[in-house]
Amino acid sequence: MAASSKSDVELGFAEKTHGWRLNSKYFPCKFGGKPSWLHLKNLPLPESLQCSCCKNPYTFLLQIYAPINELKTCFHRTVFVFCCRSAECYKPNSNLPFAAFRSQLPRKNDYYSYHPPTESEDSKPVNPVDFEQRMCEVCGCLGPKRCGKCHETNYCSRNHQMIDWKEGHKFSCGKDEGRTPEYKNVLFPEYEVVIETEELNTAEETDKSEEDKMRDYSEFMKSEQGKSMLRNEDMTQEDLEKMALHEEDVQFKKFRERINHEPEQILRYDRGGEPLWISSKHIPKSNDIPLCQCGAPRIFEFQILPQLLNYLHVDSLGASIDWGTLAIYTCSKNCDTGPVYHPEFVWKQECGDTPKIKTEDTVSQ
């Protein structure tokens, strides 16, 4: 039977598109390139966009436009994720090289029209510079520092100033010539993220019952009866380890089977739901997720899958940027106090001992 059913999860897929369509005024979901800021003032300060490991500036990873219909303050709402570009900062089970921010706006606001804009290549883009913000030439984040020679080009940090100098600013400094370096060693390739509802075919039903059986079995082994059975049969440490390994496989199998319905997915969105963990190791307990600055608990909002890595061209860096999954947790109350870009929380889970997932066709550019 080829019946299918819709799930509550929205999936994200990478799609090449024209750069102009990813401007802030169209409220895009996207990854790579420079961020398309929602609030165009009061952007995150360079200090808050510094890797907690190596102190270098983060690179923009991805943003998801996710308004909350019931909340007037969240008529527009975008969650931004940043990560470090150095592979050395990716340590097992460490959430350090990531940052996330939530930005939201009511329908009536200082930046965008009340009605959706007509999409056209010729219409004027909207950027923080229109609101007197100085933006870093390299990364597109706030750039309070200025080139000391021309006093015209802005940077978030000395690090990015040095990168730009080498990328050609040493020739163009003070001259009035158009230059559009791509900063390929800083920015990730830019794609739109297209969102579709997940559809599950009935094949999953059989998998589920198999999983249930496995769960029953492991529950039983933990019970008094199961434990005494273990004692009687004189299970060795090795046997127990094998069993644990098998449980690990079950989580990975569950992950793989769910993903296989749509193998190209790079993101799963299910605010208030549960992440699809890739392994049974390093799953956060509720007190591992810090409370929001407002005091409210954070809830799961979306997860980034390892498939995204295929698009980022990071493998060539030797020891590479890597994750099994990144789960993004945001304020359950969508608070509107404190900084305009509200810091949120990223949890990284490794692939575990299981092989890395790659989609069939590797993306070429």
> Of 26 and 345, which CB lies nearer to Zn ion in the complex structure?
345
CB of 296 to Zn ion, least distance (A): 5
* Cβ pair 43, 289 in contact under 8 A: no
Residue whose token pair is 């102009």: 20
Local structure of 130: helix, strand or coil: helix
> Of 89 and 312, which CB lies nearer to Zn ion in the complex structure?
89
Alpha helices for the chain (secondary structure H): 158-164, 170-172, 203-222, 224-232, 237-259, 309-312
CB of 295 to Zn ion, least distance (A): 7
Q: Taking the chain, what is the end-to-end CA distance rounded to the nearest angstrom?
A: 38
Dist CA 321 CA 58 (whole Å):
13
> Of 25 and 160, which CB lies nearer to Zn ion in the complex structure?
160
Residue whose token pair is 């943003």: 63
Dist CA 190 CA 196 (whole Å):
19
* Cβ pair 43, 128 in contact under 8 A: yes
Beta bridge partners of 13: 194
Residue whose token pair is 């799953």: 283
> Of 77 and 258, which CB lies nearer to Zn ion in the complex structure?
77
- Does position 289 bind Zn ion by CB under 5 A? no
> Of 153 and 251, which CB lies nearer to Zn ion in the complex structure?
153
Stretch that binds Zn ion, among 23-31, 104-112, 241-249, 286-294 (CB under 5 A): 286-294
> Of 137 and 198, which CB lies nearer to Zn ion in the complex structure?
137
Site string for Zn ion, 221-260 (x = CB under 5 A): ----------------------------------------
Site string for Zn ion, 54-73 (x = CB under 5 A): x-------------------
- Does position 348 bind Zn ion by CB under 5 A? no
* Cβ pair 41, 35 in contact under 8 A: no
Answer for which of 71, 335, 340, 363 binds Zn ion (CB under 5 A) is 335
CA distances from residue 309 to 191, 262, 274, 357 in whole angstroms, order as listed: 13, 16, 22, 10
Answer for which of 45, 53, 299, 340 binds Zn ion (CB under 5 A) is 53
Answer for which of 150, 162, 245, 317 binds Zn ion (CB under 5 A) is 150
- Does position 156 bind Zn ion by CB under 5 A? yes
Stretch that binds Zn ion, among 81-89, 203-211, 219-227, 262-270 (CB under 5 A): 81-89
- Does position 52 bind Zn ion by CB under 5 A? no
Neighbour-count burial for 322-346, b at 16+ CB within 10 Å, e otherwise? bbbbbbbbbbbebbbeeebbbbbbb
Answer for which of 136, 305, 312, 346 binds Zn ion (CB under 5 A) is 136
- Does position 173 bind Zn ion by CB under 5 A? yes
Dist CA 327 CA 304 (whole Å):
7
CB of 182 to Zn ion, least distance (A): 14
- Does position 203 bind Zn ion by CB under 5 A? no
Answer for which of 73, 86, 95, 359 binds Zn ion (CB under 5 A) is 86
Dist CA 225 CA 220 (whole Å):
7
Dist CA 139 CA 37 (whole Å):
12
CB of 49 to Zn ion, least distance (A): 8
Dist CA 320 CA 85 (whole Å):
9
Answer for which of 64, 89, 267, 321 binds Zn ion (CB under 5 A) is 89
- Does position 51 bind Zn ion by CB under 5 A? yes
- Does position 331 bind Zn ion by CB under 5 A? yes
- Does position 162 bind Zn ion by CB under 5 A? no
- Does position 49 bind Zn ion by CB under 5 A? no
Query: For the purposes of burial, counting CB atoms within 10 Å of the CB of 237, is it exposed (0-12), middle (13-18) or buried (19 or more)?
Result: exposed
- The footprint of Zn ion (CB under 5 A) covers 51, 53-54, 84, 86, 89, 97, 136, 138-139, 147, 149-150, 153, 156, 160, 173, 292, 294, 296, 331, 335
